[in-house]
C-alpha cells in the first residue's frame, strides 16, 4: 500500500476508534451542492460524512477491530460518523433521503453490532435522546409520587375530619 493510502487508512482507523457508531450510505446521484447541504445538516446533529474508497475503509474497519466488512462495500459510499446520538444522524439521513431520494442507507454499526438499513430507519424514528430521558425519569418518579400520595391520604383525611368538627364547634 502506498504511503498516502496508509495515511488515509490510519486516519479512518482513528476515526472509527473514536466514534460509537458509523453509517454507510450510497451517495450516488447527489450533486456537490446537495452533498454540501447534507454535511451541514449532519454537522448540526453532531455528525459528519466523508467519502471514502471502499478498499481503504474495509482495511480501516478491520484494523480498528470494528468488523470484517468483506464484500459488503460496493458502489460509491460515504461514511457518517459522530460523537453524539446515532438516532440524530440516522434521522438527518432519512429526512434528507425523503426530500431528495438520495442518499440510500446501506447499513451501520453501533459499537460492534451491525444494523440493517431497516433497523436504522426504526432508530431514526425514535424521539430525541433528551425526550427519551425525560420519559424514563417520569416513569421512575411516578411510583414514588403515588406512594407519597397514598401515605398522605389517611393523615389528610383525619385533618379534614378534625377541621370539620372544629368548624361545627364540637
**Second-level CATH architecture of 3-126:** 2-Layer Sandwich (3.30)
Backbone dihedral angles phi then psi of residue 108, each to the nearest 5 degrees: -155, 175
- What is the residue extent of each domain of the chain? 3-126, 127-170
- Mean pLDDT of all residues in the chain? 80
For the chain, helix, strand, coil in percent to 5 are 60, 15, 25
pLDDT in tens, 28-63: 888 888 888 888 988 888 888 888 887 777 777 777
Query: Which pTM does this prediction carry?
Result: 0.68
**Segment 97-135, tens digit of pLDDT:** 888 877 888 788 887 778 888 888 888 888 877 787 888
Q: Is 72 exposed, middle or buried (0-12, 13-18, 19+ CB in 10 A)?
A: middle
Amino acid at each position: 500500500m502506498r504511503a498516502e493510502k496508509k495515511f488515509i487508512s490510519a486516519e479512518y482507523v482513528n476515526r472509527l476508534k473514536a466514534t460509537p457508531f458509523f453509517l454507510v450510505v450510497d451517495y450516488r446521484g447527489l450533486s456537490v451542492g446537495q452533498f454540501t447541504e447534507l454535511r451541514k445538516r449532519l454537522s448540526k446533529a453532531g455528525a459528519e460524512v466523508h467519502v471514502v474508497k471502499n478498499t481503504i475503509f474495509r482495511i480501516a474497519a478491520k484494523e480498528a477491530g470494528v468488523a470484517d466488512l468483506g464484500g459488503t462495500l460496493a458502489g460509491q459510499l460515504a461514511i457518517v460518523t459522530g460523537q453524539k446520538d446515532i438516532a440524530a444522524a440516522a434521522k438527518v439521513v432519512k429526512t434528507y433521503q425523503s426530500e431528495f431520494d438520495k442518499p440510500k442507507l446501506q447499513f451501520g454499526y453501533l459499537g460492534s453490532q451491525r444494523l440493517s438499513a431497516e433497523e436504522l430507519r426504526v432508530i431514526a424514528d425514535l424521539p430525541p435522546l433528551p425526550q427519551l430521558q425525560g420519559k424514563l425519569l417520569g416513569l421512575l418518579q411516578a411510583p414514588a409520587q403515588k406512594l407519597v400520595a397514598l401515605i398522605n391520604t389517611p393523615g389528610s383525611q383525619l385533618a379534614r375530619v378534625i377541621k370539620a368538627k372544629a368548624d361545627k364547634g364540637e
